[in-house]
Copies of this chain bind each other. A is one copy, B any other.
Amino acid sequence: MPAQPGTADAALKLEEFLPYRLNVCANIVSTALSRIYAERYSIGVPEWRVLVTLGQFGMMTAKAIGIHSHMHKTKVSRAVAMLERRKLVVRRANRDDLREAFLSLTPAGRDIYSDLAPSALEFARQLMEIVEPADRAALGRALNKLIEHAALIASDIAKGGNPG
């Protein structure tokens, strides 16, 4: 009966579907956060992540930044290039391996960082206040687990499973 929607199975409802809700949530939050820095410093998410990562660790390679911030190397490369043009980041050669270079914030970059970090923390604080106090720790644990294990979910599902 193709005319009767949602009868096929245990009813797939988009608005209750976890992957979808995670996406929507992440987008809304990300958009709200970016309002804090986007126009103010004319940077986007990748640049913000590079700034924060360098602010946190002081000096590291592009590769390390990419790993720490879950960004593709081309994204890191371009973000760093733009921060370098703006004199917010400097590149220092590594004499022991000339393929890579050590990146760090300039004083100007650090100024922006110390202006931006408190705002970000304040944003995160207000964000957490939205969640019921009793649910906060659970949210953190759930995200940890999902980040760690979601990639491993059997793609066997694809192969036309559930015959029963």
Chain A residues at the B interface, C-beta cutoff of 8 Å: 2-6, 8-15, 17-33, 35-37, 40, 49, 52-58, 68-70, 105, 107, 110, 113-115, 117-124, 126-128, 130-132, 134-136, 138-139, 141-143, 145-147, 149-151, 153-155, 157-158, 160-162
Contact = CB atoms under 8 A, between A and B. Distances in A.
Report whether over half of chain A's contact residues are helix, strand or loop; otherwise say mixed.
helix
A131 B119 contact: no
A132 B145 contact: yes
Question: Taking the full assembly, how many copies of this chain does it contain?
Answer: 2
B22 A122 contact: no
A19 B125 CA distance: 11
Contact of A24 (B70, B105, B113): B70
B127 A32 contact: no
Contact of A55 (B8, B53, B114): B8
Contact of A147 (B3, B25, B49): B25
A12 to B, nearest CB: 4
A24 B37 CA distance: 20
